[in-house]
Chain A
Amino acid sequence: MADGIEKLTEVPVEFFKDGSAFVKKCSKPDQKEYFKIIKAVGIGFIMMGIVGYAVKLIHIPIRYLIV
């Protein structure tokens, strides 16, 4: 039984050790790269949102007319 409990705590501890080691080893984006990506993704996301919202806007008069 004690063995089981030990194993139960062992898994998360091991996981945190591995995980933090992994994250440390990762190559991370530097600030310039990060801002570049944010700009690209941000523009894409907002464009998509605006298109989606435009379709949603069409719904407002339709809703008003039909309900």
Chain B
Amino acid sequence: MSTSSSSQAPGGLRNAVKRKSTADKKQQSQNATPLSTRSAGAGGSSSTMMKLFTDEAQGLRVDPLVVLFLAVGFIFSVIILHVFAKITGKFT
């Protein structure tokens, strides 16, 4: 970053230096804690995109296929429940 500014800032050199240093400090503190996972370099929500889970966290590791099969299994269990209720309902 170039530190010399070509034009004289209003308020004299000393003020300009001071202002610059506080601005730098502010920027540093902002850089220290990123405001989103994407600016921390880990992917995440962009301006038009809402992303929640982009990091790998600890936890119960599962393969995505397992989740898909789980979902299908769940659907089938609900269907079976329905069918079962219908059949028993017919007989009683």
Contact = CB atoms under 8 A, between A and B. Distances in A.
Interface residues of A, number: 4
A48 to B, nearest CB: 18
Q: Which 7 A-B pairs have the closest CB atoms?
A: A66-B82, A66-B83, A66-B79, A67-B82, A66-B86, A62-B79, A67-B86
Contacts of B79: 62, 66
Interface of B: 79, 82-83, 86
Interface of A: 62, 65-67
B47 to A, nearest CB: 16
Nearest to B79: A66
Nearest to A63: B82
Nearest to A67: B82
Given A66-B83, A66-B86, 6 more contacts: A62-B79, A65-B83, A66-B79, A66-B82, A67-B82, A67-B86
A39 B35 CA distance: 39
Contacts of B83: 65-66
Nearest to A66: B82
Nearest to B81: A66
A20 to B, nearest CB: 22
Contacts of A65: 83
